[in-house]
Amino acid sequence: MSLPTTPSATVGPYLSIGLTWEDGPYVVAPDTSGAIWLRGTVFDGNGDAVPDAMVETWQADPDGRFDHVDDPRGAVARPGFRGFGRAYTVDGGTWAVCTLKPGRLPDGEGGLQAPHVDVSVFARGLLDRVVTRIYFADEAAANAEDVVLRSLPDDAARQTLLATPTEDGYRLDIHLQGPRETVFFAV
């Protein structure tokens, strides 16, 4: 039996009515040991900040584990850690998620993936989500071994996924278009 999948549609300009959670940006509570803020601005093809986008994040915990039945290593819950973050771009087009830095995890091909966060971006003007990954610029050795980063054509492409350290975490801007268009993925 195979059913056709339901087609996607844009989240539209009024997404905040339906998708606002007070605790959305908090993958962990801000007073959690090791908590960091991931921040960024979403830009359109004119280089203007996108003021009405939603950014969702999904990631492993600092030990590289997921609380999920399909993880063949077993589900591991970490109290207070949701793995999932949801944030909106607000004034100036910036989003922010409070989380823990993920650990490395197996790539299924005998190696280890570098710490990364899977990201979905939704906005008016996008008829489907666009998917990218956040990596961490201060993980050079791990990044050099990462099967996804290695598959990209050049450093300029890799650079669009590398978040840079800030005083309270990391920052990565997402460019929907333009000379620094972010590498987006088909999953």
Partner 1 sequence: MTGTGPSRLLLPRYLPEDGAARTPVGFAGYKSTALRAPLHAPVELPQRLTEITGPVLGEGRVRPEDADLTRQHDGEPQGQRIIVHGRVLDSGGKPVPHTLVEVWQANAGGRYRHVVDNWPAPLDPNFTGLGRCLTDGEGRYEFTTIKPGAYPWGNHHNAWRPAHIHFSLFGTAFTQRLVTQMYFPDDPLFFQDPIFNAIPEAARHLAISRFDYERTEDNWALGFEWDIVLRGKDQTPFETSDDGDVA
Binders of partner 1 among residues 118 to 177 (CB under 8 A) are 118, 120, 122-131, 133, 148, 151-152, 176-177
What the block records as the tokens of 173 is 């801007």
Give the rounded distance of the alpha carbon of 1 from its chain centre: 33
Pairing of strands 174-175, 36-43: parallel
Nearest-approach distance from CB 87 to partner 1, in angstroms: 14
Map the footprint of partner 1 across residues 72-91, applying CB under 8 A.
72-73, 82-84
Nearer Cβ to partner 1, position 164 or 180?
180
Alpha carbons 168 and 178: distance in angstroms, whole number:
28
What the block records as the tokens of 2 is 């195979």
76 SS3 class: coil
Nearer Cβ to partner 1, position 128 or 166?
128
Q: Are 161 and 153 in contact (CB under 8 A)?
A: no
Nearest-approach distance from CB 94 to partner 1, in angstroms: 17
Nearest-approach distance from CB 167 to partner 1, in angstroms: 26
Nearer Cβ to partner 1, position 111 or 166?
111
Distances (CA, A) of 67 to 3, 22, 80: 29, 22, 12
Q: Which of 138, 140, 165, 185 binds partner 1 (CB under 8 A)?
A: 185
- Size, binding site for partner 1 by CB under 8 A: 80
